[in-house]
């Protein structure tokens, strides 16, 4: 197992700057954000120019990672592959294929994305749409030696009422998406707040957990008694503000990281545990984000065999 980090939390730094810092901070791998350069949302980052990535860029990237003793564990493009707007959906699929092409050039085994959802339609409609769309994307990746991995994030902010916007949040849905040839980028934070014991989900799906993200969730005392599990319904100005929980860096929430890492080892996980930093306490400046990453490293490093 390697301890890595997702680069998306440092969108204003270059990949070279992040690699140098990660090396000094003791990280062993990077999960590299690969959104389009134009971006859009505040957590998007374009750390590889996948639109026109060629052999020269691949050689330079490999040299960068070798120089800093890092592995490139996965490329990350977490978007809504079932977007209700047909034009936007096609843009997302086109870019996803460019990310897959870049991964193939770099011999990176995984590209991470979301299943997503058409939030204008019932869940059953989106499931049928995914069954049409994903086999072709999985085949495209497989022909290039790449696996498509899905993070089990709820993405409630994508839905106008705060309901799941990514149909990959539960073991029930994992079993469905595995039938489409997809794999799992397993994240315990989302399971924690939706009421699923993260540790209990590792053994049954160990053969499909090929990459993992390390993010924590803090349950705010007593707040659920006001809002319920679905979160704020009145005055929810921020679609991501549920009101009774928030993401934290590992060690600052309710996830039992000792039990998580132990269960991953017990079930044969040999991939990368990649810190995904979305902690509002340690955000706002580059210095605070880096401090958050250092807290995560101090929490996880003693648990991972050197």
Written as tens digits, the pLDDT of the chain (306 aa) is: 999 999 999 999 999 999 999 999 999 999 999 999 875 444 579 999 999 999 999 999 999 999 999 999 999 999 999 999 999 999 999 999 999 999 999 999 999 999 999 999 999 999 999 999 999 999 999 999 999 999 999 999 999 999 999 999 999 999 999 999 999 999 999 999 999 999 999 999 999 999 999 999 999 999 999 999 999 999 899 999 999 999 999 999 999 999 999 999 999 999 999 999 999 999 999 999 999 999 999 999 999 997
Q: Residue 31 in contact with residue 274, Cβ under 8 Å?
A: yes
**Structure confidence at residue 43 (pLDDT):** 52
Query: Residue 214: in which H helix or E strand, if any?
Result: strand 209-214
Q: Residue 47 in contact with residue 7, Cβ under 8 Å?
A: yes
Q: Beta strand 110-114 with 71-80: parallel, antiparallel or unpaired?
A: parallel
pTM across the whole model: 0.96
Length of the chain: 306
**Structure confidence at residue 42 (pLDDT):** 47
The domain over range 2-303 is classified in CATH as 3.40.50.300 = no
State how far the alpha carbon of 64 is from the alpha carbons of 17, 30, 67, 175, 299, in Å.
Answer: 10, 12, 5, 38, 27
State how far the alpha carbon of 81 is from the alpha carbons of 77, 93, 108, 114, 248, in Å.
Answer: 10, 7, 21, 7, 27
Which of these, 15, 13, 7, lies nearest to 53 by C-alpha position? 15
Q: d(Cα 98, Cα 239) in Å, to the nearest integer?
A: 30
Q: 256, exposed or middle or buried, with CB in 10 Å at 0-12, 13-18, 19+? A: middle
Place of tokens 């073991």: 171
**Structure confidence at residue 44 (pLDDT):** 76
Q: Residue 165 in contact with residue 157, Cβ under 8 Å?
A: yes
**Structure confidence at residue 295 (pLDDT):** 98
């Amino acid at each position: 197992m390697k301890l890595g980090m997702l680069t998306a939390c440092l969108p204003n730094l270059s990949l070279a700057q992040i690699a140098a810092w990660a090396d000094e901070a003791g990280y062993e791998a990077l999960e590299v954000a690969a959104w389009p350069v134009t971006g859009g949302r505040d957590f998007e980052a374009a750390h590889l120019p996948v639109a026109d990535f060629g052999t020269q860029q691949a050689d330079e990237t490999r040299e960068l990672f070798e120089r800093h003793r890092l592995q490139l564990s996965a490329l990350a493009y977490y978007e809504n592959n079932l977007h209700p707007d047909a034009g936007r959906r096609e843009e997302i699929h086109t870019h996803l294929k460019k990310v897959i092409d870049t991964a193939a050039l770099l011999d990176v085994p995984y590209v991470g994305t979301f299943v997503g959802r058409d939030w204008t339609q019932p869940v059953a409609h989106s499931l049928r749409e995914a069954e049409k769309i994903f086999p072709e994307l999985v085949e495209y990746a497989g022909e290039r030696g790449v696996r498509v991995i899905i993070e089990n994030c709820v993405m409630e902010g994508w839905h106008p009422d705060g309901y799941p916007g990514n149909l990959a949040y539960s073991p029930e849905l994992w079993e469905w998406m595995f039938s489409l040839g997809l794999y799992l980028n397993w994240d315990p934070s989302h399971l924690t707040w939706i009421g699923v014991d993260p540790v209990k989900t590792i053994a049954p799906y160990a053969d499909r957990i090929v990459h993992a993200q390390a993010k924590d969730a803090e349950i705010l005392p007593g707040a659920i008694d006001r809002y319920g599990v679905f979160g704020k319904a009145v005055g929810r100005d921020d679609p991501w503000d549920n009101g009774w929980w928030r993401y934290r860096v590992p060690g600052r929430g309710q996830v039992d990281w000792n039990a998580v890492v132990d269960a991953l080892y017990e079930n044969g996980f040999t991939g990368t545990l990649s810190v995904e930093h979305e902690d509002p306490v340690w955000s706002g400046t580059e210095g605070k984000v880096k401090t958050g990453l250092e807290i995560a490293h101090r929490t996880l490093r003693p648990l991972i065999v050197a």
